[in-house]
Amino acid sequence: MSAIFSNEKVANNHVLITNPLHTKENLFNIKGMKRKLYAKLLAWKTSKNRKPLVLRGARQVGKTHLLKTFGKQEYDNCIYLNFEEDPKLSEFFSGKLKPSIILENLSAYLEKDIHAENTLIIFDEIQECPEALNSLKYFQENANEFHIVSAGSLLGVKLANTKGFPVGKVNFLDLYPLSFFEFLEAIGKNKLQEFLMNISEFNPIPEPLHEDLIMLLKKYMYIGGMPEAVMEYVETESLMGIKAIQKEILDAYVLDFAKHAPKDQIMKITEVWESIPSQLAKENKKFIFSAIRQGARGREYETAVQWLADAGLIYKSYNISVPKLPLLGYSNKNIFKIFLLDVGLLATMSNVSVKSVVEERGLFSEFYGAFTENFVAQELSQQHQSLYYWTSAGIAEVDFVIEQELDVYPLEVKAGVSTKKKSLVVFNEKYKPKTSLRTSLMNLKKDGNITNIPLYFLGRLTKILVN
């Protein structure tokens, strides 16, 4: 028997949604924003190996909106429970973690029946209740007919420190800020995005489109991919209000440090966080602990750096001296670069002027190409690429090294249209890769063994390598 719920709110944070029409005009739409992760949510729903789902991602990347919309569009009913807004919910997980008892108690609390058929149950801000996280194991073992998704801020931090978490009993998905392709759709450039997605031959992109895409990329590098900032631009068609929104997001992150980090790490986390723009402004972007403060050592700050990585606020790119598979096995965990989760937030932290968007080179050349390299790190991370870079005894450095289908590819990042390739030449001569990659403001182009990929086309990198 299926439960029938009405479109009503129970308290302030338990939303019961009915949507009998199942409108599926778009994969996913939040005020016009499609997210590519929606397709993976659909696959999760129908998978024969479906388990309770944990959706990870930094604060304000759109997790709650994504799950609510998924529940509304794909299920008859959606129950939304927020452990941060309603601390009383944790009491239902304080005793025996038996799914039937938990659901019976929640049903009485909500004054609604809860049945498995075509109902999505959302546990939001689940990091506030470690027992609810642990209960997912028992839902998988004893009540897997229920469709349960969970999300929360700083989940990566909580999962790293929660004893007894049911490894192997849940599915994971990760949500990031909007990619450049998602940004194009959000601002109404659907046809342009479809054009890029449908390119199947390695021919130059028509010059008028190429120039338009470079200008749009400049805007993206200033706005970034945080949904609230993108929506501000969509609604106002202006860049003037973006910085205020980004500052609010950055302030919220700093408050999270004080609220959720270990007390002895708060100051160190803040110091690492605030040092990132100046670290990236160096020509050699290797993270230097002594640049945080005089005499600082890595062992003093390694916990702080890992906290930021677990929180999804930074990407770490590890140095490798030998590009052999698996790259992880040849990486030096003590030598790395740190990139910010979102290039737009980096622009605000660096106090970049909006005028840089209309300048000829704009953000691409700022701080030795720091924004360009951060953009590339962001795009690669969204394609589930672990980040590595290669150095050779001070002679050459390749910005990224990519592992794809048993091959290794060097990727050099250029802020403009430079064709300099010293580092790629050194790498090619030494390791003879199948092809070397350069991403820049140049159009699609083959230069001997070097394949040039426009920065705005990086969303198709995986397809390029496969083909």
Residue 60 token pair: 């304000």
Name the residue with higher pLDDT: 121 or 18: 121
Name which of 304, 310, 415, 408 is nearest 359 in CA terms: 415
Tell me which DSSP letter residue 385 carries: P
Tens of pLDDT, residue by residue over 263-307, are 999 999 999 999 999 999 998 899 999 999 988 999 999 999 999
Whether 416 shows a pLDDT value over 80: the answer reads: no
Other C-beta atoms closer than 10 Å to the C-beta of 256 total 18
Phi, psi of 413 (to 5 degrees): -105, 125
Q: Which of 20-34, 319-333, 437-451 is predicted least confidently?
A: 20-34
Which residue's structure tokens are 């209960």? Answer: 135
Tens of pLDDT, residue by residue over 364-410, are 877 778 999 999 999 999 998 999 999 987 788 999 999 988 899 99
Q: What is the pLDDT of residue 158?
A: 77
Whether 83 shows a pLDDT value over 90: the answer reads: yes
Report d(CA 379, CA 381) in Å as an integer: 6
Indicate the CATH number for domain 8-174: 3.40.50
Phi, psi of 297 (to 5 degrees): -120, 155
Residue 73 token pair: 């569009």
Q: What is the pLDDT of residue 361?
A: 64
Whether 260 shows a pLDDT value over 80: the answer reads: yes
Q: What is the pLDDT of residue 420?
A: 66
Give the residue-averaged pLDDT of 92-98: 93
Contact between 192 and 184 (Cβ < 8 Å) = yes
Name the residue with higher pLDDT: 29 or 239: 239
Helices (H) then strands (E): counts for the chain: 16, 16
Report d(CA 59, CA 40) in Å as an integer: 20
Give the residue-averaged pLDDT of 207-221: 96
Domain boundaries, the chain: 8-174, 180-466
| Beta strand 314-320 pairing with 331-340 | antiparallel
Tell me which H or E stretch contains 332. strand 331-340
Whether 24 shows a pLDDT value over 70: the answer reads: no
Q: How confident is the model at residue 34 (pLDDT cuts 50, 70, 90)?
A: confident
